[in-house]
Amino acid sequence: MGRPNLQIALDNSDLPTALAAVSAVGEIVDIVEAGTVLILQVGDESVKCLRALFPEKIIVADTKCADAGGTVAGNVRKAGANWMTCICSATIATMKAAAKEVEQIQVELYGDWTYELAQKWLEAGITQAIYHQSRDALLAGETWGEKDLTAVKELIKMGFKVSVTGGLEVETLKLFEGIDVYTFITGRGITGADNPVQAATEFKNEIIRIWGE
């Protein structure tokens, strides 16, 4: 079992705020994500700036692409993204078209996806999935539970590299002890902290404490 990555998601609504948020902690995390909110507001300039600031990091464009996979993926690749997300309700054809343009596609699991469908993604060569607690679901009072952990384990068993995200705090990580999580994604858990550098360091230290170096 490897050490899970730590990914920071930038879901700010403007570029200066996003850059301020990431500038201090970008080198602490493993992966930097241009969040959907940021991309919808700023466009590919957001990805270009992150690539310029962090030339050696993995940059993810969280497009949640549902269609026109080849075009969207080609665009974010040109902007400097390594990975890109597709929404689970995108067709296999869309995912395949996107996969030709970027290094990795990550399927964002929202709503009523099925394991049968997930098997088709694997067969299409898509090996990364993102298990999500919706921000709006969290606001409605839902949180990480046994149902979520079971789903994460099942996806890993199927062969996916599984990232988990949604309302993660340092204290949440131990829920995943013993599970081969690929990446923990957090936004406000770091950027919203009083001391983001301290928060990022605490996330990283807790990951190392549980999963080792």
Contact with a copy of itself (CB under 8 A) among 134, 156, 179, 210: 134
70 lies in the binding site for a copy of itself (CB under 8 A)? yes
Determine, following the binding rule CB under 8 A, whether residue 122 of this chain makes contact with a copy of itself: no
Interaction between residue 195 and a copy of itself (CB under 8 A): no
Q: Which residue, 39 or 207, is less far from a copy of itself as judged by CB?
A: 39
Q: How far apart are alpha carbons 71 and 114 in whole angstroms? A: 27
* List of residues 6+ apart from 197 with CB closer than 8 A: 24, 25, 28
Q: Take residue 120 and report the two structure tokens written for it.
A: 């088709």
**CA dihedral of residues 8, 104, 124, 67 (deg, nearest 10):** 70
94 or 172, CB closer to a copy of itself?
94
Q: Which helix (H) or strand (E) covers residue 96, if one does? A: helix 92-99
Cα dist from 33 to 127, 151, 186, whole Å: 18, 23, 10
Indicate whether 149 belongs to the interface with a copy of itself (CB under 8 A).
no
Interaction between residue 191 and a copy of itself (CB under 8 A): no
**23 phi/psi in degrees, rounded to 5:** -60, -40
Exactly one of 22, 37, 99, 155 binds a copy of itself (CB under 8 A); that residue is 37
Contact flags string 81-120 toward a copy of itself, x per CB under 8 A: ------xxxxx-xx-xx----------x-xxxxx--x---
The span from the first CA to the last CA of the chain, in angstroms, equals: 11
Residues contacting residue 61 through CB under 8 Å, at least 6 positions apart: 33, 34, 39, 47, 76, 79, 81, 83, 84, 85, 102
Q: How far is the CB of 74 from a copy of itself (least distance, A)?
A: 8
Closest contact distance (angstroms) between CB of 208 and a copy of itself is 29
- Sign of the Cα pseudo-torsion (120, 122, 124, 126, in order): positive
User: Smallest Cα–Cα separation from 189: which of 149, 151, 144?
Assistant: 144
Measured from the CB of residue 121, what is the shortest distance to a copy of itself in angstroms?
Answer: 12
**Which of these segments, 23-31, 132-140, 173-181, 189-197, binds a copy of itself (CB under 8 A)?**
132-140
Q: Is 23 in the site for a copy of itself (CB under 8 A)?
A: no
Q: Which residues bind a copy of itself (CB under 8 A)?
A: 11, 13, 36-37, 39-46, 63-72, 75-76, 87-91, 93-94, 96-97, 108, 110-114, 117, 132, 134-137, 139-140
